[in-house]
Amino acid sequence: MQGKKNDIWITGIGIICSAGSGYDHFCSALQSHRIFSSPADSSLPVEQLAVVPSPIKAIADFPNDRKSWLAMDAAAQAFSDAGYPQGVLSIFMGTGLSSITPRQMEEDLFPHIRDGRFDRVAMAKDLDVSKVGPRRNLPHRLVEHLKGVYEAKGRCATNFSACAAAAQAIAEGYRVLKRGESDIAMVGGHDSMAHPMGLLSFVVLGALSNSFCRPFDRSRNGFMLGEGSAVLILERAEHARSRGAKPYAKVVGTGSSVDAWNVTAPHPNGEGAEKAMHRALRDASLDSSEIGYINAHGTGTPIGDEAESKAISRVFGDSIPVSSIKGAFGHCIAAAGAIEAVASVAAIEKGCIWGTVGLEEKDDFSINAQKEPQEKSVKYVLSNSFGFGGQNCSLIFGAV
Amino acid sequence: MIVELSVQIHSMGVFLPVNGKIENFKARKLIPDRKSIKLMTRSVQLGVAAASVALRATNVWQSISPSRRGIFVSAAPCLDDHFDLQSALRAAHQDGHFSLERFATNGMSLIHPLWLVRGLSNNILGFTSSMWDFQGENMNYCQGYLGGKHAFIQTARAIEEGRLECALVGGADVLTGAEEIYQKECAEAAVFFVLGPSKDAMRIDLEHVQSLVDTQPVMGAAGWLAALHRSLEKPTI
């Protein structure tokens, strides 16, 4: 197996999303080029949701915490897929806001309203790990749990950068390994906001489409909410090689930036996105012409796609194929960057540029937006993730 | 354990509690964009204000390109989102029980459009970066008090590796009223530093900082940074 000593390999992948569970299943889903969604409950303000179709294994210590269950599933898949590597392990997971579910409202919050206001004292008395959202939903509980399960002795942290969280977590794992602080890093993201309160959050912001997500399409009107988790095992090449592990691909560069513009809207010209992509290229010591495919953030919102297209056009011109997988699997919010990282790795491994489900009539953007999947060998893939708060992160993956 | 970081602290903005609360805090006097204050929860106000104090105390960052100014923050999601929901929940009341249907028909319209955004953990980072034009590498951690330790060390590494020329690093949290949860005295706090490169290594005794964390009130995401600040007042190394 080729590869430099200080390369960072991807030796394990776990994924669960609306297409189902497992890397092979996800690759088949990408190749099938269709929407993986199901009709939403009629009481909800959207028609479709991209939710995990099968029951998820519940974890007793995390009652009603669907997004943590997803992450534990993906983490177990990834660690097993990597062959249970031994060594100093770090863990970085991107997570999102724990919107309270209707069940939590019913059980935890509603009983504590007295005379129209929350009775903080009564509520506080109920605050233990098994009851009431705030304590149960502390964002770092998952990483603390994974630390114990996988006996992680390296650095462990929870990244909260809205929709860029998982990409930021992958970037952090990459840096820790590059410095030699760990042998292995478990990185990724998880989220599940496909419930009434989560939906409400995005409906009031005007970010959701009432039907399907159409990235880069002239008629795009927002995203379809998804859920899921993806976890990658990153490993120093030297360490992986010594135990005979085979890589899917390698991480070759990362770049982050802040728009410094507006907490809920991207810079209209995508200046922050452009900086993140430039930094990732510089970090990877690559010229923009060496990128074979761009997996866009591509949420299907009118402003977001326009800003990203402008940025891509300035950095890469209009010839490199660009697509978004959010039309197929929805926007998985804090997990999106990890799920799209897996799609990027799969593009390299399977020799295929993924299409953009939902794209019918391209808007007037100066990018090469791909409608259909196309078999093509690619050496380097760039994946974008941008979040509320103006945080941007670009990752570059390469063939080994 | 001693960690050596090739950085120096140029300035700091620190709000530490007296009897759990930060007294005489005036967000309008400290936060440059007053219009955005109403979108901020108290922890975000404290964080943005502390960052602003730190930045006003030095001009070292002003000659550096915004792309080379980074920002790393330790913060928690805002638990007050539940209190933003009380009108909507009240409207969902039916025969003593919560009704999702009534919530949808009567309650949703009572929720502020930016309810979700107000609760995001990365609001301190988002507001501060836009007010002070910091566009460089960044990270927002949610890891309890240890988030501050991650933020500080990763900021230093980004500077050491030449990815940044200066950076703002800090954290803020409001845990007043959370004594029942933690079974310990709780407080609010905000601590921010402006860091830059240095030929001389800054040495931090992590065990000493941890011992200070253990003896102070629970300050959530700001806890480790508050302890670091205390250790700097009386250096042990």
CB atoms within 10 A of CB A64: 17
Q: The dihedral of CA A131, A135, A139, A141: what is its sign?
A: negative
Task: Please state, in angstroms and as integers, the Cα–Cα distance from residue B203 to each residue in B8, B73, B200, following that order.
Answer: 10, 21, 9
Point out the residue among A106, A140, A260 whose CB comes nearest to the CB of B98.
A106
pLDDT greater than 90 at residue B85: no
Task: Find the residue in B nearest to A181 (Cα).
Answer: B157
Q: Are B26 and B193 in contact (CB under 8 A)?
A: no
The more confident residue out of B96 and A62 is A62
Q: Is B60 exposed, middle or buried (0-12, 13-18, 19+ CB in 10 A)?
A: middle
Confidence of residue A62 (pLDDT cuts 50, 70, 90): confident
pLDDT at residue A131 in the model: 45
Task: Identify the residue whose tokens are 């945080």.
Answer: A391
* φ and ψ at residue A228, rounded to 5 degrees: 160, -175
The mean pLDDT of chain B is 91
Q: Are B212 and B16 in contact (CB under 8 A)?
A: no
> pLDDT for A82-91, tens place per residue?
999 999 999 9
The answer to whether residue B157 neighbours chain A at the CB level (below 8 Å) is yes
pLDDT greater than 80 at residue B237: no
Question: Closest Cα of chain A to B140: distance in Å?
Answer: 5
CA distance A294 to A291: 7
pLDDT greater than 60 at residue B56: yes
Q: Are B188 and B175 in contact (CB under 8 A)?
A: yes
Region B226-236: mean pLDDT is 81
pLDDT at residue A130 in the model: 45
Helix (H/G/I), strand (E/B), else coil: A292: coil
Confidence of residue A255 (pLDDT cuts 50, 70, 90): very high
pTM for this model (two decimals): 0.94
Residue A1 in tokens: 């197996």
Point out the residue among A99, A138, A260 whose CB comes nearest to the CB of B134.
A260
> pLDDT for B140-196, tens place per residue?
999 999 999 999 999 999 999 999 999 999 999 998 877 877 888 999 999 999 999
Q: Are A308 and A296 in contact (CB under 8 A)?
A: yes
A256/B150 touch (CB, cutoff 8 Å), yes or no: no
Question: Closest Cα of chain B to A83: distance in Å?
Answer: 28
pLDDT at residue A108 in the model: 66
The answer to whether residue B35 neighbours chain A at the CB level (below 8 Å) is no
pLDDT greater than 50 at residue B43: yes
pLDDT at residue A103 in the model: 64
pLDDT at residue A133 in the model: 46
CA distance A320 to B129: 32
The answer to whether residue A248 neighbours chain B at the CB level (below 8 Å) is no
Give the burial string for A157-190 (b: 16+ CB within 10 Å, else e): bbbbbbbbbbbbbbbbbbbbbbeeebbbbbbbbb
Region A175-189: mean pLDDT is 97
Confidence of residue A221 (pLDDT cuts 50, 70, 90): very high
Region A281-297: mean pLDDT is 98
Question: Closest Cα of chain B to A38: distance in Å?
Answer: 21
Confidence of residue A222 (pLDDT cuts 50, 70, 90): very high
* φ and ψ at residue A122, rounded to 5 degrees: -65, -40
A297 is catalytic: yes
- Report the DSSP beta bridge partners of residue A227: A192
Point out the residue among B104, B139, B178 whose CB comes nearest to the CB of A172.
B139
> pLDDT for B189-225, tens place per residue?
999 999 999 999 999 999 999 999 999 999 999 999 9
The answer to whether residue B176 neighbours chain A at the CB level (below 8 Å) is no
Enumerate long-range contacts of A122-127, CB under 8 Å, 24 or more apart: A124/B177, A124/B178, A124/B179, A124/B180, A124/B181, A125/B180, A127/B180, A127/B181
- Respond yes or no on whether ipTM tops 0.95: no
Task: Find the residue in A nearest to B102 (Cα).
Answer: A43
The more confident residue out of B101 and B22 is B22
A196/B100 touch (CB, cutoff 8 Å), yes or no: yes
Percent of chain A whose predicted confidence (pLDDT) is above 90: 76
CA distance B130 to A49: 33
> pLDDT for A102-125, tens place per residue?
666 666 666 777 776 667 666 666
Q: How many residues does chain B have?
A: 237
Point out the residue among B89, B129, B140 whose CB comes nearest to the CB of A159.
B140
pLDDT at residue A203 in the model: 79
A239 is catalytic: no
Percent of chain A whose predicted confidence (pLDDT) is above 70: 90
